[in-house]
Amino acid sequence: MTDLNAYRARVGEWLAANTEPRAEARRGDPLGLGREFTPDVLAAERALQRRLHEAGYAGITVPEEYGGQGLTPAHQQVFGEEARPYVLPDFGLMGHVCFDVCIPTMLAHASPEFLARRIPAILSGDDLYAEYFSEPDAGSDLAGVRTRAVRRDDGTWLLSGSKTWTSGGHYADYGMCLARTDWDQPKHRGLTWFAVPATAPGVTVRRIKQITGDADFCEEFFDDVVLTDDDVIGTVGEGWKVTQTMLFYERGGGTSGSVRSRDESGTAGRGRSPVAPDLVRVAAEAGRDADPAVRDVIARAHVDDLARAALGARLGELIAADPAKAAGYASYGKLAGGHFDPVRARAAMRAGGASAIAWEATAADGAVGGEDAQPPAAEVASAQLLNSRFLSIAGGTNEVQRNAIGERVLGLPREPAFDTRKPFNEVLKDARTWNGQVG
C-alpha cells in the first residue's frame, strides 16, 4: 500500500477496534525500568505482539520474505503517529533492544537462511532477543571482550565466559552474544556474533539489583554452551562490523520494524508542544506551580525539550544525507541524552521540592488499582532522578560519544593506543606489565 493517507485510515480503524486507549502514565519511568515481567504479564504482551503481527503491523519495514510487510519508513512513521494514544506491546527496555537494535542489525549482516528462521519468530513475539554485549572487563572498550567461542572437530562451537548489564536478560529467549573466536588477531578482529538460547545447558542468568531496588539488568555466565553454525550472525571473525551496526542503532541512529512508538514525550511531534507536562504535574501536586522560581525551572526544561527534539530531527536529516558519518551523528543524540537527562531529573526535583522526595502512599503504590493506575508525580520524579545517569553510561559513555564525534565527524586524530595492532593474546600478556607509555 503506497497511499499513506489510505494506510493511515486503515491503521486508525484497526487500532480503535483492536487495542485499548493508553492511560496518561502507565508506569513511573519513561525508560520502562522497574516493571516486573511476570509470566502472566509477559504472556499478555506476547499475545498483543502476535495480534499486531497477524494484522500486518509488526515489522512494517522488514522484507516480506522474513515475515514483515516490506513497506517504507514513512509507513512506519504513520503507524507510530496513529498508535501513540493506544496500548502497544511493551517488553520494557529489552523490547527496544530486540526490535530497534537486534532486528536491523541482523537484517544488515545475517544470512538469508538465518533471517528466514529467526525474524518471523521475533516479530510474532515468540522469541525475544537481548544483547549479550558488555563484560566485567569490557564495557566502553567493547573490542576487549574475553568471552570465547572455540570451534570443535565436529563443527560445533563451545562458548565460555560472562556478560553483564544485559537489559531484561531474565525474560529474554535469546541473546545476541559477541565472542572472541581468534585470539591471534588484533582486538577488533577475530570476533564473532552468535544467537545464544537463554535456556541452553550451561547458561546461567542472574539479576542485578539497582539503586532503585529494581532488578532490570542481568549478568550471564556461559559454561561450555554448545552452539552451531546456524547460530552465527554475520561472518566468522568479522564481528566488529556487526558491532558497529549494533552501536549505531543502539544510539538511536536509525529506525526499524519496531511496533513501539518512540515518541512518548510529545516534544517531538508536529504542532505546538506541551510545556514539560511531567514537571507541571509534579509542581501542581506539590502546590508549587504558582511559584515564579518553579515556573522558571519548568520553562527552562521546556526549552531543553524543544532543543533536543530539534536536534533529533536535524540528526535524522544529516544521517539520511551522509550515511558515511551516520554513526558519528548518532553519537550527538546519545550524548544529548546522557547530558540532559540528569539536568531534567534535577529540574523535576526542584519543581517538586520536598514533596518530590517523600509523598503520601496511594493505591497506585500498592496492589490496588493495578499497573495502569497513575502513580504520584513525585514517585515518577524520584525514579527519573535515580535512573537519570542511565544514558550517560549505557550504550557507550559520554566520553566515548565525544571521541566518536571528534574522530568520525570532526576528523580529529584517534587517541594513541598500544593495543590496536597486536594479537589480542599478546595484549592480555603485555597489560600485566604495561607502564602507561605508548610506542
Q: What is the pTM of this model?
A: 0.82
Nearest to 220 by CA among 240, 197, 247, 243: 197
* Domains 2-93+120-126 and 264-409 agree in fold: no
Q: What is the pLDDT of residues 286-307, one digit of tens each?
A: 999 999 999 999 999 999 999 9
pLDDT band at 40 (very low <50, low <70, confident <90, very high): very high
Say whether domain 264-409 belongs to CATH 1.10.3470: no
Say whether domain 131-242 belongs to CATH 3.10.310.70: no
Q: What is the pLDDT of residues 218-252, one digit of tens each?
A: 999 999 999 999 999 999 999 999 999 998 888 87
Helix, strand or coil, per DSSP, at residue 358: coil
Q: Is the pLDDT of residue 400 over 50?
A: yes
Rounded distance between C-alpha atoms, residue 170 and residue 45, angstroms? 16
Residue 370 has what pLDDT? 46
Mean pLDDT of 78-84: 94
Hey, where are the domains in the chain? 2-93+120-126, 131-242, 264-409
Query: Where does 277-338 show beta strands of DSSP type E?
Result: none
Say whether domain 2-93+120-126 belongs to CATH 3.30.160: no
Q: Is the pLDDT of residue 310 over 80?
A: yes
Q: What is the pLDDT of residues 169-204, one digit of tens each?
A: 999 999 999 999 999 999 899 999 999 999 999 999
- Helical axes 398-408 vs 326-352, angle rounded to 10°: 150
List beta partners, residue 166. 218
Mean pLDDT of 8-16: 95
Give the strand pairing for 217-227 and 203-208: antiparallel
